[in-house]
Chain A
Amino acid sequence: MARTIVVASGKGGVGKTTLTANLGRTLAARGRKVTLIDADIGLNNLDVALDMEDRVVYDILDVAEGRISAAEALVQDKDFPELKLLPSVKCGVSDKIKAARFAAITALLNMGVDYLIIDAPAGVESGFHRAVCAAKEAIIVTTPHLSAVKDADRTARLLSTYDVRSVGLVVNRVRYDLVDRGEAVPPEKIAQLMRLRLLGALPESDLIGINALCGERGESARAYACLADVIEGRSDRIYSPPDSRGIFSFFRRRTY
């Protein structure tokens, strides 16, 4: 049985799709069997982020309407054969797939994989409901901005009414230069205010801004490796860049 994790945020554009793609690749690079589901139905993004767009043949609507099996609709990653994607539909047909049907599709994909990661749409409407109903765990993504934190907080509260067992927070686009100068709220503090477990912090990155994927080296790759460790229960270390917090980074993470 796979761990079924939904990636949600409330506010749009905070990095759900980017996180789903990179976390999926990071786990797959470790040999885990990972299936990603693009639940942002009507706005396919995950295939684009994963650079799989031109290999998409079928999508989730084909599966929902019984034209093809869920397994047949999966697109395999070029670098990691154990990483697969169930693409969403390209045009606006979002209410054709009901939550129960969506949950049934994810249940079918559950067999023989380690992780099923669902990229939820922004907002807390029916698309959110559909994505969350199918999941047992949730990652809430926010940026350090006040409006994003506020929306993430609402989403976290809403999640508590679903059958989601554990909810964790990832703070994306952290500007460590500002954190170090005392001009931005550190991720640990944001999680503390939201009363959520911090699963990870991801730095602002030009690389990600340009092509969505963080690559195998560099700051973002290290941050995703930390996040994957926490998700896999191997450590509880939250990423912080060595050069900025330096020797204090170890102590910092215990302060909050």
Chain B
Amino acid sequence: MKAAELTMKMQQTLVRDKSLPEGFGKMILDETDRLLSGFFEYGKGDLTLRLIPTGRGWAVEILLDAVRVKNLKLL
């Protein structure tokens, strides 16, 4: 196969569009779990995840009782 063809194939595999990337939800859950386990009592307080488009990608804000605990930036 020629390099141009391979490049095209690679580009297709790495396609990034407006939709959220595959595995995005699991990533948020894993990350939230990692962040919160230890100091967040489940069932107590309000956990909010806010998804923010950044132009280049997405960021997720994790809020506990409306207080921002962490920003996750996602490509």
Question: Measuring CB to CB, which residues of chain A are less than 8 angstroms from any residue of chain B?
Answer: 129, 146, 149-150, 153-154, 156-158, 160-161, 179, 182-186, 189-190, 193-195
Contact (Cβ within 8 A) A149 B13: yes
Contact (Cβ within 8 A) A179 B3: yes
Q: Does B67 contact A (CB under 8 A)?
A: no
Contact residues of A: prevailing secondary structure: helix
What's the interface size class on B, roughly?
A: 20 to 34
Q: Does B75 contact A (CB under 8 A)?
A: yes
Question: Measuring CB to CB, which residues of chain B are less than 8 angstroms from any residue of chain A?
Answer: 1-4, 6-7, 9-11, 13-14, 21, 23, 27, 31, 34, 72-75
Q: Top 3 nearest A-B pairs by Cβ distance? A: A182-B3, A157-B75, A185-B6
Contact (Cβ within 8 A) A195 B75: yes
* Cα–Cα distance between A195 and B2 once the two chains are bound (Å): 22
Return chain A residues, CB-CB under 8 Å to B73. 160-161
Could you list 7 further interchain pairs (A-B, Cβ under 8 angstroms) beyond the known A150-B13, A157-B74, A193-B10? A158-B27, A161-B72, A182-B2, A183-B1, A185-B3, A185-B7, A189-B3
| Cross-chain contact of B75 among A160, A184, A186, A189 (Cβ < 8 A) | A160
Return chain B residues, CB-CB under 8 Å to A186. 3
* Cα–Cα distance between A160 and B60 once the two chains are bound (Å): 12
Q: How far is the CB of B51 from chain A (nearest CB, A)?
A: 14
